[in-house]
Amino acid sequence: MIQDIALGLLISGVAVEGTSRLIVDIAMYFGLFVIVAMALNFQYGNAGIPNMGCAVQVIVGGFTVSALTTRLIFSIVKSSGVELMPWADDFDWVYNNPANVAMTNTYIADKPMFGVSMLLFSLAVALILGAVIGWIIALPAIRLRATYLMIVLITMADASQIFGRNVPAISGGTLGVFIPDIFKWYQGDRTILTAIIALLIGLVSFFIFRTMLNSPYGRLMRSIRENEITVGSVGKNVVGIRRNILMFASGITALSGTLLAFYFSYVVEANYQRAFWTYWPWLMLILGGPGNNAGTFLGCALVVAMRRVIIVNKWFLQAVFFFPIAYFESILLGVLLIVVIMFRPNGLIPEKLLYIPGVNYRKLVDEEAVVDWRGAPKARGASSGISGIFRTLGGRKEADD
Amino acid sequence: MDWDTILFWVMIAIWVIMPAFIVYEEIRERRALAESEASTEEIEAVNE
């Protein structure tokens, strides 16, 4: 396999075919999962918000493209004189969609600026709607304790998928909808462009999260994670801060859903399953190490590469296993989560201490509280403690006091 | 070379640069943390 990848790198003149295709696929999914996992790290690793509803935010990004951008593109194309088929009601929206998308693609083919502007529009709207959905999620759930918050968010992730499945106007229901190829002006393979954009957004997200985590706000987040009651007692609005964190991270997460839609040029709710967009990012986070961006990257790289290689080599692996290979990924997810949590709970790269200039944080953390208990027996009386109880029961007089 | 090939290598470059930069940042932060601890301990030792 490694030789194949190396060969693919060397003979990449054949563009995106064979092993090069696999490399582009791994790069794309790496970029997408890095965005989701870093946002999750921002929420859970640094602020202690166990967001089990990442799939909600990703699906919002996908629905932004299918429900808003596609309609906007159709409207613009129609207003410029192209005779598109009707798309107003649900039936037309789903069944006229392929023909409309084909005509729209022809229109975009010689208008690169239009395609790029639609990409930027989609990303901006996904960011805003992701933040809005983060706020909506936060309304009933953010005051809850970790366990209940997780349950509510899992439920919301399922609910969002059910909405997509049953409301055709959003993403064509179970059939899904094609979306216009905004990279149609590019003569080559658009998936390389989307992979580059995903990786670049992942890099920019890293800078944004790093800056926020190294700021006083990042220290406030960590203090909430460690002890929210203490933070609340010094006058900080813990609920408000947690809500802001959830909104911001939701906005960033939604970008990956948008990019996935453009990668496939197709949106269907089944592409945004809870297991795929919530549990795998959690595994990446836990495997790499929560509270640590380098660990998140490492976890992403390992898990994405492993998954794609398994998917590509399923036929070969089937000969080895006694159970249907379709279950192998799910089994692997569960086994890896259990193994990592049991043997490496801090991940491969444990979280480092905060770097605050002029403050020796390690000393603060490691400092042993030396308390002088020599006066304690007098204050507590001779009957305190186990030995004191025996002394009292035995009626012995204290000689050492 | 066609555009696909050029972009493919641009993608590989970004893919390599991104983790390399993050590892570099991580090492730099850990080093700064260690230096800060060492200097604080030195100052405290002098004061004592």
The tens digit of pLDDT for each residue in A193-248 reads: 999 999 999 999 988 988 888 888 888 898 888 888 888 888 888 888 989 999 99
* Residue B30 with chain A: CB contacts under 8 Å: 352
Q: Assign A289 a pLDDT band (cuts: 50, 70, 90).
A: confident
Nearest by Cα to A25 from A271, A316, A260: A260
Which of A33-47, A99-113, B10-24 is the least confident region? B10-24
CA–CA gap between residue A39 and residue B1 (Å, rounded):
37
pLDDT at A367 over 60: no
pLDDT score, position A346: 83
Pinpoint the alpha helices (H) of A265-347.
Answer: 274, 280-288, 293-312, 314-318, 328-343
pLDDT score, position A374: 55
Task: List, as ranges, residues 5-34 from B with C-beta within 8 Å of A.
Answer: 5, 7-12, 14-15, 18-19, 21-23, 25-26, 29-30, 32-33
Chain B: closest CA distance from residue A302 (Å): 12
**Average pLDDT value for chain A:** 83
pLDDT at A380 over 60: no
What is the CB neighbour count within 10 angstroms for residue B23? 14
Kindly report, residue by residue over A11-59, the tens digit of the pLDDT.
444 446 677 888 898 899 999 999 999 999 999 988 888 888 899 999 9
pLDDT at A162 over 70: yes
What is the CB neighbour count within 10 angstroms for residue A3? 8
pLDDT score, position B29: 79
Nearest by Cα to A265 from A165, A193, A203: A193
**By the 8 A CB rule, do A60 and A342 touch?**
no
Structural domain boundaries of chain A?
2-273, 361-400
Q: Please, which residues bridge with residue A178 across strands?
A: A266
The reply to whether residue A12 touches residue B9, judged by beta carbons under 8 angstroms, is yes
pLDDT score, position B13: 92
Q: Assign A275 a pLDDT band (cuts: 50, 70, 90).
A: confident
Tell me if residue A24 falls in helix, strand or coil. helix
List the helix and strand counts (H, then E) for chain B. Answer: 1, 0
Cβ partners under 8 Å of residue A249, min gap 6: A39, A40, A42, A43, A51, A57, A134
**Nearest 5 degrees, angle CA A312-CA A313-CA A318?**
135
Kindly report, residue by residue over A319-361, the tens digit of the pLDDT.
888 888 878 888 888 888 888 888 888 888 888 766 665 555 5
